[in-house]
A and B are shown apart, each in its own frame.
Chain A
């Protein structure tokens, strides 16, 4: 029995990756939940907005790298991030202007807007593939680890190593900063408050003189910014592939719905619930259990509940359970 090594193995293989993944999902889910709260539809194009922004960031990163510009120990992609956000915001606002605004004026039902966003999703899907192709791209550079497993082992003398990748550290730090800034904006600024008011009671917001066009515009800008940040962080941490980003839509929606659609705090909590569930269910627990259990009880198999190929199923199951038993989510969002 060796609890310390078990704990380190748990941290290394479950907690750290899940926290980073949860932060990425949370950022994605925040965008989805804001769009849902203000524009009142589920934006299926969100995953591909992430993909588009990330593709732009990757291309810019290539440009910077070939120009010999780096960001020291940090990934060059972070330098490209602001520009990628600006480009994506432009695309999203253009989409709103030529597509969504038409349906908004018609006061289209949410179900129609969802299908419209599905169409936008397919278009963006195509644009991303035209821009960067369908292949996998690895664009993380700079220092690979904050703490490497080897260093950790020599420093502590433990058998198990704890590695923290630079991308994981960056993900968590960025997520904290972005979320703090977003909540400050929503709670303290005039525009942020008007967004919450609009989300809470649209008619009364109009009676109070809040300009709906401006609220919608700011919402798109923030959602696009969050999408690109989430996408680039995910791509740095793992890798970029257009299809993977399309698939991210499911855990992101699951996170937003588990937390309660329209509720930003719920989106963050939901992101971590989904991420931890996915990692815990698909992790092979043999190593941790071998440390914890007496030799006679040591497991023979991998003790992996589900193959990683099925990790999307985890989001699905959680989604179904939440919709069956708590349709408004953990933090009382709007019921769909």
Chain B
């Protein structure tokens, strides 16, 4: 089998002396959605940060399109076509929606307007609020700004750390729909989700992490159908 487009392979590491990840592997294929789920403290967000280079790995590799990027800084990974939406503090609150998008495209020197139009097509509400300060928007709209900002680099991989944290169920469904649309344009999506059931429904691939290691790995559908996974992680 060919190697996935982006893979964090057998990653081991943590913030201090203690390892949080123990040989954890997460990967995503081109244009697919991979979801990392698991109980609190399983190291989901840490795995995400490790893939993005915000965490020093003691073991394992991160490869993008076959190239080893383990040693690259997060900024260098942005230049390589990766985009990351942190869980919190993921927008410039004092700047307008449009300026947030412009900052997302900071590294680009070409015309960014077509990309901005695409983002507005994806999230029409942002177009009507484009002159408003992003900090004044609702939780769901702020997440749209955050995702929009990340899309402005025209990434090949979009990494989302709990994009639906703190938004209402209706907005959550809406966001998931948008995420599927983004994946259809050929962008790979790797995300961590607290709402495991809904996230696995849209996932091509699901990773269940427990204590920094892979417990179950399968397609989203298969994981949802697995009685063991249902009983232990999805509440029946």
**A interface residue numbers (CB < 8 A to B):** 190, 193-194, 196-197, 200-201, 203-210
Residue on A with the closest CB to B152?
A208
Among candidates A193, A204, A208, A210, residue contacting B89 with C-beta atoms closer than 8 Å? A204
The reply to whether A197 and B75 form a contact with Cβ atoms under 8 Å apart is no
Q: Complex formed: what's the CA distance from A298 to B167 in Å?
A: 67
The reply to whether A200 and B106 form a contact with Cβ atoms under 8 Å apart is no
Contacts of A190 in B (CB 8 A): 102, 106
The reply to whether B94 and A200 form a contact with Cβ atoms under 8 Å apart is yes
Known: A203-B89, A204-B86, A208-B106. 6 other contacts (CB 8 A): A193-B95, A193-B102, A196-B92, A197-B106, A200-B92, A201-B92
Q: Complex formed: what's the CA distance from A197 to B106 in Å?
A: 11
Residue on A with the closest CB to B79?
A209
Interface centre among A190, A193, A204, A206 (most CB of B within 10 A): A204
Residue on A with the closest CB to B78?
A209
Contacts of B92 in A (CB 8 A): 196-197, 200-201, 204-205
Q: B56-100: which residues lie under 8 A (CB-CB) from chain A?
A: 74-75, 78-79, 84, 86, 89-95, 99
The 7 closest A-B pairs by CB, nearest first: A209-B107, A200-B92, A197-B103, A200-B94, A208-B106, A208-B103, A209-B106
Quick one: given A196-B92, A196-B94, A208-B149, are A203 and B103 in contact (CB under 8 Å)?
no
Quick one: given A196-B94, A197-B92, A200-B93, are A210 and B86 in contact (CB under 8 Å)?
no
Contacts of A201 in B (CB 8 A): 89, 91-93
Among candidates A200, A203, A206, A207, residue contacting B95 with C-beta atoms closer than 8 Å? A200
The reply to whether B86 and A207 form a contact with Cβ atoms under 8 Å apart is yes
Whether B220 sits at the interface, judged by CB under 8 Å, is: no
What is the distance, in angstroms, from A221's C-beta to the closest C-beta of chain B?
A: 20
Against A, the Cβ 8 Å flags (1 = close, 0 = not) of B130-153 are: 000000000000000000010001
The reply to whether A205 and B74 form a contact with Cβ atoms under 8 Å apart is no
Q: Complex formed: what's the CA distance from A204 to B93 in Å?
A: 11
- A-B contacts, 12 listed (Cβ < 8 Å): A194-B103, A196-B99, A197-B103, A200-B93, A201-B93, A203-B89, A204-B103, A204-B149, A206-B75, A208-B107, A208-B149, A209-B106
The reply to whether B102 and A204 form a contact with Cβ atoms under 8 Å apart is no
Quick one: given A193-B102, A193-B103, A194-B106, are A204 and B95 in contact (CB under 8 Å)?
no
Interface magnitude class on chain B: 20 to 34
Q: Complex formed: what's the CA distance from A205 to B86 in Å?
A: 12
Whether B104 sits at the interface, judged by CB under 8 Å, is: yes
Residue on A with the closest CB to B149?
A208
Q: Complex formed: what's the CA distance from A196 to B96 in Å?
A: 11
Q: Complex formed: what's the CA distance from A206 to B79 in Å?
A: 12
Contacts of A205 in B (CB 8 A): 92, 103
What is the distance, in angstroms, from B209's C-beta to the closest C-beta of chain A?
A: 23
Contacts of A203 in B (CB 8 A): 86, 89
The reply to whether A204 and B91 form a contact with Cβ atoms under 8 Å apart is yes
The reply to whether B93 and A208 form a contact with Cβ atoms under 8 Å apart is no
What is the distance, in angstroms, from A137's C-beta to the closest C-beta of chain B?
A: 41
Residue on A with the closest CB to B146?
A204
Q: Complex formed: what's the CA distance from A207 to B92 in Å?
A: 12
The reply to whether B86 and A193 form a contact with Cβ atoms under 8 Å apart is no
Interface centre among A201, A205, A210 (most CB of B within 10 A): A201
Among candidates B74, B95, B104, residue contacting A196 with C-beta atoms closer than 8 Å? B95
The reply to whether A207 and B99 form a contact with Cβ atoms under 8 Å apart is no
Contacts of B102 in A (CB 8 A): 190, 193
Quick one: given A196-B94, A197-B92, A201-B92, are A210 and B103 in contact (CB under 8 Å)?
yes
Contacts of B78 in A (CB 8 A): 207-209
Contacts of A200 in B (CB 8 A): 92-95
Q: Complex formed: what's the CA distance from A190 to B84 in Å?
A: 22
Interface centre among A193, A205, A206 (most CB of B within 10 A): A193
Quick one: given A200-B93, A203-B86, are A208 and B99 in contact (CB under 8 Å)?
no
Residue on A with the closest CB to B77?
A207
Q: Complex formed: what's the CA distance from A200 to B104 in Å?
A: 14
Contacts of B99 in A (CB 8 A): 193, 196-197
What is the distance, in angstroms, from A34's C-beta to the closest C-beta of chain B?
A: 14
The reply to whether B86 and A197 form a contact with Cβ atoms under 8 Å apart is no
Contacts of A210 in B (CB 8 A): 103, 106
What is the distance, in angstroms, from A128's C-beta to the closest C-beta of chain B?
A: 36
Contacts of A207 in B (CB 8 A): 74-75, 78, 84, 86
